[in-house]
């Protein structure tokens, strides 16, 4: 299942997220972090921002956004328009009336 927004099926996203989790956990390890193995070298580097898939809309039941207020999710990792659900890094969302547009 390839999604037009995410572009990658869950069977490929899951191992990538598991690898990311393992790397982040190693940063907090009591044994310490010795640095990445075979990192890619990047020269003339600068920090920039890019667009990622997310949802915007009026939030209901969000722990940090006032009831009925507009909000933007963090990057989406899963979107199922038939089930009307999406998963960001931190939580699930349900768009009960479907997506607009």
CB-CB contact of 50 with 57 (8 Å): no
Output DSSP code: residue 60.
Answer: S
Residue 31: inside a domain:
yes
More confident residue, 67 or 98: 67
Q: How far apart are CA 50 and CA 26, in angstroms?
A: 27
Write the pLDDT tens digit of every residue in 8-33. Answer: 777 888 888 898 888 888 888 888 77
Number of domains in the chain: 1
Tokens of 67: 């009831």
Is 5 among the domain residues? Answer: no
Q: Which of 17, 89, 13, 10 is nearest to 25 (CA)?
A: 17
Element containing residue 23 per DSSP (H, E)? helix 10-27
Indicate the helix (H) or strand (E) that contains 52: none
Domain containing 26: what range?
Answer: 10-94
- Residue 81 covered by a domain: yes
């Amino acid at each position: 299942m390839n999604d037009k927004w995410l572009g990658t099926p869950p069977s490929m996203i899951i191992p990538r997220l598991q690898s990311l989790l393992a790397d982040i956990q190693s940063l907090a390890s009591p044994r310490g972090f010795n640095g990445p193995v075979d990192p890619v070298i990047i020269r003339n580097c600068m920090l920039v921002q890019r667009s990622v898939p997310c949802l915007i809309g009026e939030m209901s039941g969000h722990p940090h956004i006032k009831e009925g207020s507009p909000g933007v999710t963090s990057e989406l990792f899963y979107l199922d328009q038939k089930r009307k659900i999406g998963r960001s890094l931190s939580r699930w969302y349900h768009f009960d009336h479907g997506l607009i547009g």
